[in-house]
Chains A and B, each alone.
Chain A
């Protein structure tokens, strides 16, 4: 226990505050806090579904939880059940084998629900495209609010996309 405490004390807090010299970034963190307070009572809950990803995007989604990005410190957390989720974060092209599971996850979420498509594959189908096994981009299966490109998108871009999803006006979508 002593060693653990020593190490914690020695490392200190590495979470990156909104870097003041960079107005664009500071705006991101401020807006994030304000939005979550205002719309979601400081508790945005995200459900992630890998609908066919190569696992690259998952690595960056994991990175959001590391002490640098400290996602939970911003009031955002990943939840185990779609019934607890406000936002669905979808990676990959949607495979035929995942289509049903993805639709069911979406259906199980309470409204209002937001969808963020992650990565080049989520945005366009990416390098896998559409084929007998792949339905391509997430928007081919679900209404998508925000799409964040990148292979994989950096954690900061993911954070920005999540923010955009809770600030942008939701476009009219099929019920």
Chain B
């Protein structure tokens, strides 16, 4: 099946009652973004297997506060205010446009309370962001994030591009999720153009997406071992990841599969010998990861660091609207590959991997399980890859045509909402990374833990800065 999407315009007076009724019906907030000409706010909600896209024209500068219904909207609203001057809610502090004024962090007061500022330039090789810890001794009383440092105007950039050019930019919203974003963009454009893709193209996209998942999980498992004091894990997993990247480059021409998914299909294909290569690689990788998993699970030092550390309780995860891997590690059954199982996943029958504890250890378990499941899916794709075309010519979407892409990337669900303008140009495009929803959860997960555990907890979520700073 493909995305089932409805789009409606709403009045400000109906906005909140509508959102409340959707929430009562089990709906979730997927994305919230703004646009000018005409100035409006848009929201994407998932209700069961359907997506609802609402447009709210804003005549004044104020619109009703979505975060009263869906807390995850708070930062999205601050971003909209910085970009379009449309206000909602009472947090008037800047988010994406920093300016020169000092940022008023929330102050925690009391005997012995002090602050630890970290960033935007961190000690390691990671993206920039600021973390403000309020601590007593070693214990974290509050963590406040300030992001937006890598805001580079991606949404506006899309508007200077043709629909075809936009695909390349979509693949660079968050480099580690390039396959997921490129697929979501292509899916949105194909929906706008009313095109049906050949099955082979879809299956090859799934192959690329699962390989992206495996690569990222391998990298994360290495760093999680390292941050837990087991440098051996980093050496081993980073070796396995490099092996996989090299196979990607040899067979598909790019280590991270950038620009391999394009509107209309894929630029990659695989023959019998390539397929055999991948199967051999998968068998070897599975054996190695099994052996390393046994070591991780048996290692008292690592387990001591991970169990009960950085716990995100299931109830809180639901309230915050957490998605993706972090949600699955906190007992939430959410995986777009399983439900709504958009093509080709309806044929591939993926198994969801989940855990209930919501701690660092659970997020490690989910990663291990997902690697094995992705390897199984890869075998299945290779053993029954449909014949036919891997790419078709897309008809030109008419002005005003729109579409949405919905892809379960390795971190969580990625959305792209796309609207075509005249002359095959992008009128508006909002790429949405799951990190928007998950960053606030990290602020909660770290509470009560000690400062030295923060790198481990942070890594266990491994959220994107670029993806949410846009």
- A interface, CB within 8 angstroms of B: 3-4, 7-8, 11, 14, 48-63, 65-68, 78, 80-82, 92-93, 95-98, 101, 105, 126-129, 131-134, 151-152, 154
Binding site for A on B (CB under 8 A): 96-98, 120-121, 123-128, 148-154, 156-157, 168-169, 172-176, 178, 219, 232, 235-236, 238-239, 241-242, 245, 255-256, 258, 291-292, 294-295, 298, 464-466
3 nearest A-B pairs in the assembled complex, by CB-CB distance: A56-B175, A133-B153, A80-B123
- The one of B149, B151, B232 that contacts A101, using a Cβ cutoff of 8 Å: B149
Q: Which residues of A contact B148 (CB under 8 A)?
A: 97
A-B contact pairs, 16 of them (CB 8 A): A7-B291, A50-B127, A50-B128, A56-B178, A58-B126, A62-B238, A66-B235, A66-B242, A67-B242, A93-B152, A98-B120, A105-B121, A126-B172, A127-B168, A132-B156, A133-B156
Compute how far the CA of A20 lies from the CA of B241 in the bound complex, rounded to whole angstroms. Answer: 25
Decide if B127 touches A67 in the complex (CB within 8 Å): no
- Is there an interface contact between B256 and A152, defined as CB atoms closer than 8 Å? yes
Contact (Cβ within 8 A) B157 A50: no
A120 to B218, CA, bound (A): 26
Contact A53 B127 (CB under 8 A): yes
Contact A128 B154 (CB under 8 A): yes
Distance, CA A133 to CA B173, complexed state (A): 15
Q: How far is the CA of A6 from the CA of B150 in the complex (A)?
A: 43
Q: Is the CB of A151 within 8 A of B258?
A: yes
Instruction: Tell whether, in the assembled complex, residue A55 and residue B464 are in contact, meaning their CB atoms are under 8 Å apart.
Output: yes
Which residues of A are found within 8 Å of B168, using beta-carbon distances? 127
On whether the beta carbons of B175 and A54 are closer than 8 Å, the reply is yes
| Chain B residue contacts of A66, Cβ below 8 A | 235, 238-239, 241-242
Contact of A131 with B157 at beta-carbon distance under 8 Å, contacts A55-B176, A55-B466 already known = yes
Say how far A73's CB is from chain B's closest CB, in angstroms.
12
Query: Shortest distance in angstroms between A137's beta carbon and chain B's nearest beta carbon?
Result: 13
- Residues of B near A52 (CB, < 8 A) are 149-150, 152, 466
Instruction: A127 to B173: give the CA distance in the assembly, Å.
Output: 11
Least Cβ–Cβ distance between A130 and chain B, in angstroms: 10
Give chain A residues whose Cβ lies under 8 Å from the Cβ of B178. 56
Cβ 8 A contact of A97, one of B151, B255, B256, B298: B151
Given A50-B150, A56-B258, A133-B152, A4–B295 Cβ distance below 8 Å?
A: yes
Point out the residues of chain B lying under 8 angstroms from A53, CB to CB.
Answer: 127, 150, 175, 466
Q: Closest CB-CB distance, B174 to chain A, in whole Å?
A: 6
The distance in angstroms between the C-alpha atoms of A49 and B127, with both chains bound, is 8
Taking the closest CB of chain A, its distance from the CB of B305, in whole angstroms, is 16
Pick the contact of A7: B151, B238, B295 (CB < 8 A).
B295
Is A131 in contact with B242, judged by CB distance below 8 angstroms?
A: no
Cross-chain contact of B157 among A11, A68, A128 (Cβ < 8 A): A128
Report A43 CB to chain B, min CB distance, Å. Answer: 18
- B169 with A55: CB separation less than 8 A: no
